[in-house]
Amino acid sequence: MAKEHKRPDGRKFDELRKMIAKVGVVPNADGSAMFAFGDTVAIAAVYGPRQLHPQHMQDPSTGILRCNYDLLSFSVYDRKKPGPSRRSQEISKVTEWALLPAVDLSAFPNTVVDVQIYILQADAGTRTAGINAASMALAHAGIPMKDLVCSVALGKNDQQLIVDLTKEEEDYHEGEGATDFAIAKLANHDEWTLMQMDGKIQPERVKELLELANKVCAEICTVQTKALKSVVETGDEK
């Protein structure tokens, strides 16, 4: 029987860090939200639909979604160099792909919806927290959506499958080592919009990992929905 390694923060293998979600955090945006997994905090602001320039990039059949992800310089222990990096550009595109199946921009031809995502504080899971915040911000902006998008990073602590990795768990190198498997899915549909893995996992365990992802995504959706409903119930403006 495989030895079960304890998690550094004492959580159970299928337990998420404390989640905090709020909407309306950026007053001048068309929609905005904050989502946190423990010490990882992301904010997202949505602007649009608005006319897309230059004109040759316009699509007469639909609007386009454009995402920009960035870690703020003070969000990590080793100060990050300001400005976009290759990693932030990659995550921007991955985030766009993860969100696209949820939105319907066909009513807004020749326009763009810009989603700006900033990581205020980082302890792993930044792309997944950013996707959760962006999904809420799009809903808050009134963009037509098929569903919310829920995202989380899963992995291994040696051989034990775990959810919502911290930086310490991402850097785990004993035994079989760590695996970071970032996923995103439509909250109420059996449709995965992101599967991105760093590390190794046996093919036969992927099904087990996705079942675990399904379970915790339902918890994430509950937190997202509660935050969005609170704005409607209180009558707060965007």
Domain assignment present for residue 34? The answer is: yes
Residue environment code for 193-203, b if the CB has 16+ CB neighbours within 10 A, otherwise e: bbebbeeebee
- The predicted pLDDT at position 83 comes to 58
- The predicted pLDDT at position 154 comes to 93
- The predicted pLDDT at position 238 comes to 47
Domain that holds residue 87: 19-233
Domain assignment present for residue 3? The answer is: no
Tell me if the pTM is above 0.85: yes
Report the CATH number at residue 223. Answer: 3.30.230.70
- The predicted pLDDT at position 176 comes to 55
Domain assignment present for residue 6? The answer is: no
Structure tokens at 158: 């040696």
Residues of the chain under the 50 pLDDT cut? 1-2, 238
Under 8 Å CB-to-CB from 167, ≥6 apart: which residues?
Answer: 122, 123, 124
> Are 153 and 16 contacting, i.e. CB atoms less than 8 angstroms apart?
no
Domain assignment present for residue 173? The answer is: yes
Q: How many domains does the chain have?
A: 1
